[in-house]
Amino acid sequence: MSDQPNLGVRAAGNLIGGSGAGLLIVASLGAFGGLYSGALLAAGTGVAAAGMLSVLPELGRLPRAWRGWLVRQAIAAAVLFPLAIAAVVLPLLVKLVWMPALVFLYCQARALEVSTDVPAWRSPLIMPLMIVTGIAEGAGLLLLLAPLALETAVPEWVAGVLIAAVAARQFVWMSYRRRMTGGEAPIEAAAELLAFSTPFALGGNVMPMVLAMAVGVMPEMGSAALAAAGLAAVGGGWALKVIIVTKAAHGGGAKNPG
């Protein structure tokens, strides 16, 4: 990639758009249990589209393999975005939205995985890490937006999804970090990941789990605690993506965005 930091930020922006796809997945699957909100569908679509649009100005500077998966992501988006918007008008369609949204997330993860010149990206754990953080961020966005987007209280299972997804994210992250700091990544990248690990674990994973579980013990904390848990989960996921795509992108020569 280019040496310009702007490119790395734009590439991270595309991955951050995965939060929107995650929200669409959670909202779509939640429809099988009676959850429906046109506002959530619109928000998920907007975040995913904004993320994808952020990288388009730098498309020509991305590695060829990454561009190929961005094309596939665009094809998924061409199905996902109209379907999600149509589901705002025709609620029966919402139960289909999760499928192209999952493909959208998959293409994002594959774009990193095939970038073989950057060790921190080509790890086999990048795929599960990007997928699980997308789901965690999606559940977090739902909890954060619920007071505005839902006419009733947020279903209890959403907090359960957040806890499970964030716990899975921490597990995959620990395995990924162990491999990167164990010699698979250059020293500079390993140092960045190691420095990020504790703040990410505590602020991005432990905090949202504690806040979400606390609501079950102290119901009076209610939507405020759930919204805070969602914010922490989303913020942690966004920081994770920025660190991996910019700070940890060492060893790629011309393909290094940072």
Range of the domain at 46: 5-251
Amino acid at 63: P
Q: Give the Cα separation of 18 and 237 in Å (integer).
A: 10
Asked whether residue 142 is assigned to any structural domain, the reply reads yes
Asked whether residue 106 is assigned to any structural domain, the reply reads yes
The domain that holds 154 is classified in CATH as: 1.20.1630.10
Asked whether residue 213 is assigned to any structural domain, the reply reads yes
How many other C-beta atoms lie within 10 A of the C-beta of residue 186? 18
> How would you class 128 by CB atoms within 10 Å of its CB: exposed for 0-12, middle for 13-18, buried for 19 or more?
middle
Cβ atoms of residues 29 and 96 within 8 Å: no
- Tally of domains in the chain: 1
Q: What is the pLDDT of residue 4?
A: 41
Asked whether residue 156 is assigned to any structural domain, the reply reads yes
Tens-level pLDDT at each residue, the chain (258 residues): 434 445 567 778 899 999 999 999 999 999 999 999 999 999 999 999 999 988 877 677 776 777 888 889 999 999 999 999 999 999 999 999 999 999 999 999 998 888 778 899 889 999 999 999 999 999 999 999 999 999 888 899 999 999 999 999 999 999 999 999 999 999 999 999 999 999 999 999 999 999 999 987 777 678 899 999 999 999 999 999 999 999 998 864 333 333
Asked whether residue 124 is assigned to any structural domain, the reply reads yes
Asked whether residue 257 is assigned to any structural domain, the reply reads no
Asked whether residue 223 is assigned to any structural domain, the reply reads yes
